[in-house]
Chains A and B, each alone.
Chain A
């Protein structure tokens, strides 16, 4: 009988769309206002003067007076009518600030409400908490032993505070795993800020825990679907070949892991270079530190020993001062040891002309430097310098934006009895016309090039260099998109390494077509500076390619004709393919690219121009994708977690509603324990057993 009364009451409330702080009345609903507490809507009421109490039953809805909360319950008893009110409710469903709390019992006062063994449901997160304490004055909620699950994460913590602006979790643990029992991995943190929609989590003092392994991740780590899809795992693979013309000492194939958090504010990079034949095997171990007062780097880098320390202090809002120390041991391009004291003043200029913005800066430095350029003798001495810059920029107009940068610098080298001065003038113009973006600039640098050090430190070289870049991108027909690019640089003066003349002329275009699940593309690129002005330094080639991709299935073909710096003719005639193969528990996708250029010209076997391997493991934590690719000597390593692919949840009945819960999609109260779930591709937990208290 009571059920027949409760359900119509709740259904009426739900259908009428009860706002979070309102209980709508049905034709048989009585109302009782409780001064200083709120209003009660119910089917039946009974006062008890002997016990100074009032009892509501038969479907009760309480609406708070102090803040936007409502509570639906089977039975509510309020005592202390003559003094301090206390409330006790059976099977309450509390709605507050977009959250719905369901428990077997609630008790509280005019200021606080408390529940235990609570099922919690929000707009994007749901789960359970051992206890919930609600401050009715400000609407905040304190949860202990909490676990909340959303479309992306499961968040647990020893304590959590829920507010409209988000969730703060203490003693937090984040995972994407939906497996029964302990998750395969968890990212823990001293505190975690969970966005209101649960789409991202910012962890402080983060550590990755997988089994018995704990890896510090850093002071602040942001987890989201986007960051998981591009984990940027701390692993770098590089191949550095010796280039005597460019003064580069090769280190061969190197693999470095890092940055790895080793202490608050300190990260490490460790690895080795020279893993291939022909280069000496060298270790890499670098420590990097960062604090509000400065940064430091110390250790063995791929290029050699390195020590750098920077300290900056804000003496005033417009004035910074500090010192830099750098020690780059042999193996780096220019061996360098120096200490620098510097002060920098900067300010935004008052508006002299309407819609013109300006900044000015002045830097003074005093340094003791020792540089040993590759293949040269040591240069050592003091440096005293001053540098000023002035930047003026108009606001963006439909006709574009005009800018002007002026710079002036002067340096004294007492030990070498030398001076250097330099003046920069660089006007620029940029405009965006629909899909077309255009930028033109002219850099004029006047200098006496008087520094005894090299250009990697502070030597200036005269320049007269106009530059133009242009790009366009957009749809050219239904299903067709195209992009094109142009970059031109001309050097009127030249430098010791590059002659004057056309410095760069690159053009390119790409055409893309969607055809069902397939993405077809064709591209053409050309570097024409080396063709039009061959000097043995500038590149000159024409390259074209086509490609087709359907998910993990990938085919491609490229051809390149090179004229400069070495006139090799057809040096690339490549066919490539990546084909996924499903194996038990893993999807393997090998990639291979073969260059038939020499096969065509010399009749030899094709050369391998690229190779790679991707492995995809679908787990209850998401699809873990690991892979590498070496294309033309450029190595890339990828790692990602795709949450769209997760094995089925095994946590049914664990007290959470994954994905969207209708209980939380509006403020309308639903019967206790009701928890409907949309189990789409991202739903990771089944609903709670209706009517059953969470475990």
Chain B
């Protein structure tokens, strides 16, 4: 009987939590990570002195604007400020991401990840030391060393256009495709990996002469 009462309390608190979130969404309508729906997987506690809500059993966070969905084993949430998650899976326009730690800066609209970081997006699969996702511009900045398993590459830094799927290798890099193995200049350089379809299959074509459009997409990261 006591358990039934505890479950009723949780549900009641969750409903309040969602309402609070909706209130926040109304406050920051249109900004990435401003319309979050958080569904705990277990109990949660709210520290009234800090405003931090802790989900020790983790849960799911869905951004209604960007579609970014976060599943984490544990999570802390500071209303209107940030979300920190451990052992998380994140999906969005950038693909499928797993990482040991995830930090979402709500005011900045950015997501950073590190630790056992892996990302897959269609024909792209890579591992990196960390990433920073600008949800508003849909640009992912991987810092290295970054190792791609599909296609086969290594780079100091990788930028991903989450809208088109195009990739830019930055700094020292190595790119292999079939019998080709491309190595960057000694001083480093840039290599564009352009995603397109050939015979219905997604493939990456490499070019050192990076297109102006892609450079414009990555201008904030490159300057």
Contact = CB atoms under 8 A, between A and B. Distances in A.
Interface of A: 25-37, 43-50, 54, 58, 81-82, 85
Contact of B206 (A29, A36, A46): A46
A34 B179 contact: yes
Contacts of B196: 49
Contact of B182 (A28, A45, A49, A58): A45
A49 B208 contact: no
A49 B207 contact: no
A47 B198 CA distance: 13
Contacts of A58: 209
B179 A44 contact: no
B205 A47 contact: yes
Interface stretch (B68-76, B78-86, B124-132, B183-191): B183-191
B178 A32 contact: no
B184 A81 contact: no
Contact of A30 (B179, B183, B204): B183
Contacts of B179: 34-37, 81, 85
Interface in B147-200: 177-187, 189, 196, 198
A297 to B, nearest CB: 69
Q: Which of A47, A48, A58 has the most CB of B within 10 A?
A: A47
A332 B179 CA distance: 83
B205 A48 contact: yes
Contact of B198 (A27, A32, A49, A85): A49
B203 interface: yes
A32 B209 contact: no
B206 A45 contact: yes
A82 B185 contact: no
A58 B181 CA distance: 19
Given A25-B185, A28-B189, A49 B205 contact: yes
A48 B205 CA distance: 6
18 contacts: A28-B185, A29-B186, A30-B184, A30-B185, A32-B183, A35-B180, A36-B179, A43-B208, A44-B209, A45-B182, A45-B206, A46-B205, A47-B177, A47-B205, A47-B206, A49-B203, A49-B204, A85-B179
A60 to B, nearest CB: 12
Contacts of A48: 205
Contact of B187 (A28, A33, A50): A28
Given A34-B179, A81-B180, A50 B198 contact: yes
Contacts of B182: 30-32, 45
Interface string B197-220: 010000111111100000000000
B206 A33 contact: no
Contacts of B178: 81-82
Grouping DSSP codes into helix (H, G, I), strand (E, B) and loop, the B interface class, with mixed when no group exceeds half, is: strand
A32 B185 contact: no
A48 B204 CA distance: 9
Given A25-B186, A27-B186, A27-B187, A47 B181 contact: no
Nearest to B210: A44
Given A28-B185, A30-B189, A35-B179, 17 more contacts: A25-B186, A27-B185, A27-B186, A29-B185, A30-B184, A31-B182, A31-B183, A33-B181, A35-B181, A46-B206, A46-B209, A47-B177, A47-B205, A47-B207, A49-B203, A58-B209, A81-B178
A35 to B, nearest CB: 4
A17 to B, nearest CB: 18
B190 to A, nearest CB: 10
A54 B204 CA distance: 13
Nearest to A58: B209
B208 A46 contact: yes
B143 to A, nearest CB: 22
Contact of B180 (A34, A43, A50): A34
A27 B184 CA distance: 10
A32 B205 contact: no
Nearest to B176: A33
Contacts of B207: 44-47
A59 to B, nearest CB: 12
Contacts of A44: 207-209
A29 B147 CA distance: 22
Contacts of A34: 179-180
A34 B196 CA distance: 23
A77 to B, nearest CB: 13
A47 B180 contact: yes
A25 B183 CA distance: 11
A348 to B, nearest CB: 60
A154 to B, nearest CB: 44
Nearest to B173: A30
Contacts of A25: 185-186
A50 B182 CA distance: 19
A58 B208 CA distance: 11
For the complex of A and B, list the 6 residue pairs with the smallest distance between their C-beta atoms, beginning with the closest.
A35-B179, A46-B207, A31-B183, A49-B203, A27-B187, A33-B181
A48 B203 CA distance: 10
Contacts of B186: 25, 27, 29
A32 B179 CA distance: 10
A411 B207 CA distance: 95
B189 A32 contact: no
Contacts of A47: 177, 180, 205-207
Contacts of A54: 180
A27 to B, nearest CB: 5
Most A CB contacts (10 A, CB to CB) among B181, B182, B203 go to B182
B92 to A, nearest CB: 27
B208 A30 contact: yes
Nearest to A36: B179
Contacts of A36: 179
Interface in B14-45: none
A25 to B, nearest CB: 6
B181 A32 contact: yes
Contacts of A81: 177-180
Nearest to A31: B183
B88 to A, nearest CB: 34
A45 B183 contact: no
B20 to A, nearest CB: 50
B180 to A, nearest CB: 6
A47 B206 CA distance: 5
B198 A45 contact: no
B207 to A, nearest CB: 4
A82 B204 CA distance: 15
A90 B185 CA distance: 23
B140 to A, nearest CB: 23
Contacts of B205: 46-49
**Residue with the greatest number of chain B CB neighbours at <10 A, chosen from A26, A31, A43, A85:** A31
B185 A33 contact: no
A637 to B, nearest CB: 69
Contacts of B189: 28, 30
A536 B180 CA distance: 96
B187 to A, nearest CB: 5
A392 B206 CA distance: 80
Among A25, A27, A28, A30, max chain B CB count under 10 A is at: A30
A26 B189 CA distance: 13
A197 to B, nearest CB: 39
A29 B209 CA distance: 13
Contacts of B183: 30-33
A44 B209 CA distance: 6
Contacts of B209: 44, 46, 58
A49 to B, nearest CB: 4
A387 to B, nearest CB: 75
Contacts of A43: 208
B208 to A, nearest CB: 5
B167 to A, nearest CB: 13
A43 B190 CA distance: 11
A169 B61 CA distance: 81
Most B Cβ at <10 Å: residue of A26, A43, A45: A45
Nearest to A54: B180
Contacts of A32: 180-183
B196 to A, nearest CB: 8
